[in-house]
Structure 1
Amino acid sequence: MKSNFLLLALSMFSFSALAQSNEPVQSKELVSMTKLEIGLQGIGVGYEVPFSDKWSVNLSAGLGGGYSIDKNSYANGFNSTFILKEPVAYFRSEFKYTYNRDKRATKSKSLLNNAGNYVAFQTKYTTARVFENNEWNQLNNPLNRTLLNEVHWGMQRPLGQKFLYNLHLGLGYAADFDFKNSQIYPAAGLQFAYVISKNKRL
C-alpha cells in the first residue's frame, strides 16, 4: 500500500514538473515591429527597432494634426488643430529606454509587443497643410512648419496578439519655423497600433 502511494506521489510530481517545463517562457528581448498607428498624432506607419536589451527607437510618418505658435497682440499660445480634410504630414523619431521588463517577467505579466514602462526623448516635425493653400490670410487656422522636442514617461501594453496601445506624458519645447516663435508645452499622447510584422532584434 505504501509503495502504491509513493508511486502515485512520484507520478504526480513528475507530471507537475513536466507541465511547468512546457509552459511558454517569455523572452525579455525587445523585438523589431512594423506597425500601423492611429492616435492623437494622426494616422501613419511606424517601425520600432531595438539596439540593446532596453533601448529602442521608434520611427514613424503619417498625416495628422498640425501646430502654430502665436505671439502677437491678438493671441498668445501654442495651438493644435486637426481638421480631417486638411491634415499636415508628420515625421517622428522616439528614443526609448524600457526599464521594467524584468519586473514584469517576474510577476508573469505579458512582455508581448515590447510591453513595458519607458522614458523617452522624441523629436517630431510637422509640415503646413498638405492639401490646402497655407497662406495665413486664406485660412481661419493656419498651421505652420513646426519642430517639437519632448521628454516623456510612457507605458506600452499589448491588446491581444496583434494590437497594442501606448500612453505617454511629459514636457516639450516647440519651435515654429514660419513665425519664428517657440514655447514650452505639456506633452500627452495616446496611440493604438496594429502590428504588421515583427522580428528578433537586429
Structure 2
Amino acid sequence: MKSNFLLLALSVCGFGALAQSNEPVQPTGLVSMTKLEAGLQGIGVGYELPFSSKWSVNLSAGLGGGYSIEKNSYANGFHSTFILNEPVAYFRSELKYTYNRQKRIEKGKPVLNNAGNYVAFQTKYATSRVFGRSDWGFVNEPLNKTLLNEVHWGMQRPLGQRFLYNLHLGIGYARDFNYRNSQLYPAAGLQFAYVISKRGGHNQNTATLSTDTP
C-alpha cells in the first residue's frame, strides 16, 4: 500500500513537472520584429530593432493619409486627410524607450512582442499624392510634402502570438514644404500589426507566459 502511494506521488510530481516545462515561454528582452502594419497612418511594413534591453528603433514605410498646413483666407491650420484611392507615401522612424517590462514580468503580465509602455521621439515624412497632382488648382484637398516630428507616450500590447496593437499620444511639430508653413499639433496614433518574423534581442532570459489579459 505504501509503495502504491509513493508511486502515485511520484507520478503526480512527474506530470506536474512535465506540464510546467511545456508551458509557453516568452523572452524578457526586446526582440527584433518584421511586421505588416495597419492603422491611422495607413498600411505598410515595419521593422523594430532593439539595441539594448530598453531602447529600440522602429522603421516603417507604406501608403496612407497626407497632410497640409494652410494659412490663408480659404483655410487655416493643420489638416490630415486619408483619401483611399489617392494615398501618399510615408517613411517613419521612431526611437523608443520601453520602461516597464520588468514590472510587467513581476506582475505576471505578458511581455511578448515587445509589450510595454514607452516614450518615443518620432520623425515622419509624407509625400504628396502618389497618383496624380496635389496642388490647390487641381484638387479640393491638397496633400503636400510634410515633415512631422513628435514626442509621445505609448503602449504596445500583444494580441496572441502574432498580432499586436500600439497606441500613442503626444505633441508634434509639422512643416509643410509646399506652402512653407509650420504648426504644432496634438499627436495620436492607433496601429495593429501582424508579426511576420522575429528573433531574439538583448537580455534573452525566459519567463512563463501568463494567461492574464494585457
Q: TM-score, normalised by structure 1?
A: 0.91
Moved more, 68-77 or 170-179: 68-77
1-structure distance, mates of 2:60, 2:201 = 18
Name 1:114's counterpart in structure 2: 114
SS in structure 2 of the partner of residue 137 of structure 1: coil
Residues 16 and 108 (structure 1 numbering): CA distance in 2 closer, same or farther, change over 3 Å? farther
Task: Structure 1: give runs of 5+ residues left out of the alignment.
Answer: none
Q: Any idea what SS the aligned residue of 2:137 has? A: helix
Q: How many residues align?
A: 201
> Where does the alignment leave 5 or more consecutive residues of structure 2 unmatched?
203-214
The alpha-carbon deviation at position 74 of structure 1 amounts to 2.2
DSSP-derived class of the 2:26 partner: coil
How far apart, CA to CA, are the structure 1 residues paired with 2:105 and 2:154?
A: 18
Residue 118 of structure 1: how far off its partner (Å): 0.6
**Distance (whole Å) between structure 2 residues aligned to residue 107 and residue 20 of structure 1:** 21
Over 4 Å off, 4+ runs: 6-17
1:131 counterpart = 2:131? yes
> Over the residues paired in the alignment, what is the CA RMSD in angstroms?
2.1
| Aligned residue in 2 for 1:50 | 50
Letter aligned with residue 18 of structure 1: A
1:187 is aligned to 2:202: no
The match for 2:153 is 153
For 2:102, the equivalent position in structure 1 comes to: 102
Q: Give the counterpart letter for 2:17 in structure 1.
A: L
TM-score (norm 2): 0.86
Indicate the structure whose relative CO is greater, using CA pairs within 8 Å and at least 6 residues apart.
2
Residue 17 of structure 2 corresponds to 18
Q: Does the 8 A contact of 1:26 with 1:105 survive in 2?
A: no
Q: Does structure 1 residue 65 correspond to structure 2 residue 65?
A: yes
CA displacement at 1:107 relative to structure 2: 1.2
Residue type of the partner of 1:55? W
Aligned counterparts of 2:136 and 2:68: Cα–Cα separation in 1? 11
Contact kept, 8 Å, 1:55 with 1:96, in 2: the verdict is: yes
CA contact 2:27–2:200 (8 Å) conserved in 1: no
